[in-house]
Amino acid sequence: MEISEIAKIISKNGGKLYLVGGCLRDKILNRANHDEDYCVTGIKGEEFLKLFPNAHVRGKSFEVYDIDGKEFAMARKEKKIAAGHKGFEIQTGKITIEDDLLRRDITINSLAQNVITGEVIDVCCGMDDLKNGIIRATSEAFKEDPLRVYRVARLAALLDFQVEPNTIQKMKMLKSELTKLTKERIFIELKKALCTQKPSKFFNVLKEAEVLDVHFNEIYQLIGAQQPADKHPEGDAYEHTMLALENSVKLTNNPEIRFSVLVHDLGKGVTPKEMYPHHYGHDEKGVSIVEDFCYKIGTPKSWMKCGKDASKWHMKGGIFETMTPKKQLEFIENVNSSLLGLEGMKIVVECDKNRPGMYKKTDFDKIGKECLDKVNGKFIYKKYNITEGELFGEKLHQERIQWLRENNLKGEKNERDER
């Protein structure tokens, strides 16, 4: 059923239909948005269901009606009755569209457009904030929902908007309530942030609001972790991580790989200050830190595996050209068998190395794939007439080292130098 037809039916029965929230915001900004969210005024939920008996009803605390993938909710107000994201009492009935908009989180979401007339209802100067690239809390009620802290940070990353100072202050005031959020909600917001074009902004906004340490303490610990200035002109380990994360946007849309870039240097957060600016062994130390971090925020196991491998192997990937063929093969075989794989690891390494004046392209993924493809079981059978056993493994290992020696001149030079 067309939305115009639905709007006319509602209008004939004394109601009005409005396009609202992020859907309208993105429409105004000419951004793609596959969702369609509508607010209904003037009629009750049971009346709506009588008009549209095929609507699918969802929701526990508040009913939402689905018609052909479009979501419809009755206008409502909310009253805070308990701590946390869900501690609200829903009020419906004679609620105007203005009432509904005033209970929303930020001004650029507190907009509505009458589906029939096209009139835009703007009760909080949201249109001005859209034009100026500002995220601003709609009212003091912002402080009633801790999830809004992460939503604001994520929207800043999505839209590349600035969060105005008073809203930052309101975010600070919600710090204690952030602990009431479930790890499932945290992960959802993190994943969405990583899928934006400015993922570093998510963390920078949380940092500015002084709440980064609540659920992202491992990232927070990178702040002030000094690095060698000649190799890291961008600053401390936190700034380096944010730069690497921005680099990942240019190379992949895969949030799992972007997450691997985010956590590759977490080991630097536990380096004793007396060791600064060096972080010896941070790659190995980071493995358990990534694991704990993933458990805490509820990432999928695949994310954890990729993140741990990124921490463990990124340093060796960065010096691949300087390693001996034997060490190169160890790296290739281990990374190739990992979930991140050689191509994913290459992205992590290039994001890590791509900083002002330090860009270094590596081809260990191509070298590794070619080595493994050419020197395989068929190769060993054809040359030695064996298919399994300890001798097979030894010959496969030796032949792959020999292939790297013959096809990777830098590796051959490094082997001579080591001797």
Over the stretch 107-150, which tens digit does the pLDDT of each residue have?
A: 999 999 999 999 999 999 999 999 999 999 999 889 889 999 99
Q: Omega before 277 cis (within 30°)?
A: yes
Domain containing residue 73 = 1-144
Whether residue 234 is found in the same domain as residue 85: no
Band the pLDDT of 94: cuts 50, 70, 90: confident
> For residue 109, is it within any domain?
yes
Asked, for residue 190, whether it belongs to a domain, the answer is no
Last residue of a domain, one of 120, 144, 168: 144
Residues 244, 331 within the same domain: yes
Q: Is there a domain that residue 210 lies in? A: no
Residue with tokens 């990353």: 157
Above 90 in pLDDT, residue 93?
no
In a domain, 49, yes or no: yes
Q: Which of 144, 164, 194 is the last residue of a domain?
A: 144
Report the pLDDT value the prediction gives residue 62, as an integer from 0 to 100: 73
According to the model, what pLDDT value does residue 23 have?
92
Q: Please indicate, yes or no, if residue 211 is contained in any of the structural domains.
A: no
240 plus 130 within the same structural domain: no
Residue 172 lies in a domain: no
Q: Do 287 and 385 lie in a common domain?
A: yes
113 within domain boundaries: yes
Are residue 140 and residue 252 in the same domain, yes or no? no
- Is residue 264 domain-shared with residue 411, that is, in the same domain? yes
Examine the domain organization and report whether 308 and 394 are in the same domain: yes
Tell which residue, 399, 408, 411, 351, has the closest CA to residue 373. Answer: 399
Q: Check which CATH number belongs to the domain holding 82 and give it.
A: 3.30.460.10
* 201: in domain: no
One domain for residues 293 and 409: yes
Is 338 in the same domain as 223? yes
Tell me the mean pLDDT in the region 395-400.
95
- Same domain as 7, residue 113: yes
Residue 41: pLDDT band with limits 50, 70, 90: very high
User: Among residues 259, 105, 248, which one has the least CA distance to residue 192?
Assistant: 259
What are 326-374's pLDDT values in tens digits?
Answer: 999 999 999 999 999 999 999 999 999 876 545 556 789 999 999 999 9
Nearest to 239 by CA among 274, 211, 265: 265
- Kind of pairing, strands 134-135 and 162-163? parallel
CA neighbor of 161 nearest in space, from 146, 171, 151: 151
Q: Are residues 283 and 412 in the same domain?
A: yes
Average pLDDT over residues 253-274: 96
Tokens representing residue 123 in the block: 């009760």
Mean pLDDT of the chain, nearest integer: 91
Residue 267 has pLDDT above 90, yes or no: yes
The pLDDT value given to residue 419 = 44
Beta bridge partners of 121: 112
Q: How many domains does the chain have?
A: 2
Q: Residue 213 carries which side chain, given as an amino acid letter?
A: D
The tokens describing 410, both together, are 């830098």
Residues 230, 346 within the same domain:
yes
Residue 63 has pLDDT above 90, yes or no: no
- Looking at 106, 124, 144, which one is the last position of a domain? 144
